[in-house]
Amino acid sequence: MSFKRFNLSEPILKALHEKGYHQPTPVQKEAIPQIISRKDIIGSAQTGTGKTAAFCIPILQLLQQGRRRRGIKALILTPTRELAAQVCDNLNFYGKYLPLRNTQIFGGVSQNAQVQQIRQGVDILVATPGRLLDLMGQGIINLKSLEILVLDEADRMLDMGFIHDIKKVIAASPAKRQDIFFSATMPKGVQKLVMSIMRNPVKVHVEGTSDAKADIHQFVYHVEKRSKHALLKHIISEKEMKNVLVFSRTKHGANRIAKNLNRSGIKAEAIHGDKSQHARQRALHNFKMNSTRVLVATDIAARGIDINNLPYVINFELPETPETYTHRIGRTGRAGATGSAFSLCDVSERGYLKRINRRTSRKLATVEHPFCQRITADKQLPVQKSNR
Ligand code: AMP
């Protein structure tokens, strides 16, 4: 099936062709026609499935006719600045032959350039909630002309405490509008929000984006806490990983992991909330250009990082919730490519591992390694050899 089936306009088809998208992904197949027919959508799809294009393409299609009216017609809320930048890049690309103006606003940088953009007129605005409310409070932005509201990664926004901000944005929007929510998981908070504002939303659920992603090989290494740094180096070297994303639970931990790897000659950079926007963008650029081999990130900083064909993800610590595990491993195995996710698990993290195994309905394969002898002998853990 090609994108032509959606009756998209020529300028959009041309941009998609240039981008090398020949056929829609499953989430795009389901969501694009529904959004074009002005339905409210609640989509459960992870990053990596093509969900950004699943809402950007139909929004561009819907709004291209209305350019003559002034004002913000679509607002896309994202939890992080990285994701806002990425969604805006997508819009700019798919809409490159359209006369629509897209812009992004987020905190952590001066507002001046953003205000200038807004004053020149914007059709589609991508924003993080804090900066948006700030500029609304200053009277620089109003949402009177809004037709479409998108919440991207709604579960993560609620996790990050944005619920009140989201409610304020909704209260400032016209009652008659189209709502589109995307969320990797559907916790109660998201369901409640959906029920409170949407009328008869169409549910878009994409098989294969569930927690047991078949295209991601998942492994666990049982290890003592103090041997984790040595094991991490061992995994990266043994598998000759050229490009690997390592997750750290804390900012301080991320710095320490990067420092240790650099000391052993493995080039690594850390990104987290204490780094400036500029430093984060630079680290991401270096990683994408392969001049940095390892990017160490906290969960919040990693949200929205779009790196194509990332083959490996390593969890230096297991996350406390299985949802976070799903988000993390979703960084690899994107858009049909295969990937591997490795988790380092010390004895204090066994409970988290159990929950992950339960959630993914399969046991992560346990890998034998040079630092596990004492642990396996002591604890009689089942060990499965792996060549990955
Ligand atoms: P997303 O889930 O939006 O983060 O997208 C994951 C990756 O898939 C991005 O790198 C997109 O550029 C890519 N992608 C999205 N749609 C398509 C498509 N129809 N064909 C090929 N790649 C795609």
Atom 1 of ligand 1, residue of closest alpha carbon:
50
Q: Cβ neighbours of residue 314 under 8 Å, at least 6 residues apart?
A: 232, 235, 236, 244, 245, 246, 247, 341, 342, 343, 344
pLDDT at residue number 207: 54
Is 3-205 CATH 1.10.3720.10? no
Q: Lowest-confidence range among 65-69, 166-170, 173-177, 208-212? A: 208-212
Give 356's DSSP letter: H
Atom 12 of ligand 1, residue of closest alpha carbon:
50
127, 141, 169, 315 from 134: Cα distances, Å:
11, 9, 11, 35
Atom 5 of ligand 1, residue of closest alpha carbon:
50
State the greatest distance between any 2 C-alpha atoms of the chain, in Å, as a whole number. Answer: 72
- 22-50 pLDDT per residue, tens: 899 989 999 999 999 999 999 987 767 88
Task: State whether the beta carbon of 48 lies less than 6 angstroms from ligand 1.
Answer: yes
At residue 246, φ and ψ (nearest 5 deg) are -110, 130
Model confidence at 227: pLDDT above 80: yes
Model confidence at 243: pLDDT above 80: yes
pLDDT at residue number 380: 44
- Greater confidence (1 vs 76) lies with 76
pLDDT at residue number 137: 96
Model confidence at 229: pLDDT above 90: yes
- Greater confidence (153 vs 230) lies with 230
How confident is the model over 236-258, as a mean pLDDT?
93
C-alpha 265 – ligand 1 centre gap (Å): 33
- Greater confidence (328 vs 353) lies with 353
- The CA distance from 243 to 295, in Å, is 8
pTM attached to this predicted model: 0.65
Superfamily covering domain 216-384: P-loop containing nucleotide triphosphate hydrolases (3.40.50.300)
pLDDT at residue number 56: 98
Domain ranges of the chain: 3-205, 216-384
C-alpha 334 – ligand 1 centre gap (Å): 8
* pLDDT band (50, 70, 90) for residue 231: very high
Beta strands in the chain (DSSP E): 41-44, 74-77, 102-105, 124-127, 148-151, 178-183, 202-205, 216-222, 244-247, 268-271, 294-297, 312-315, 339-345, 365-366
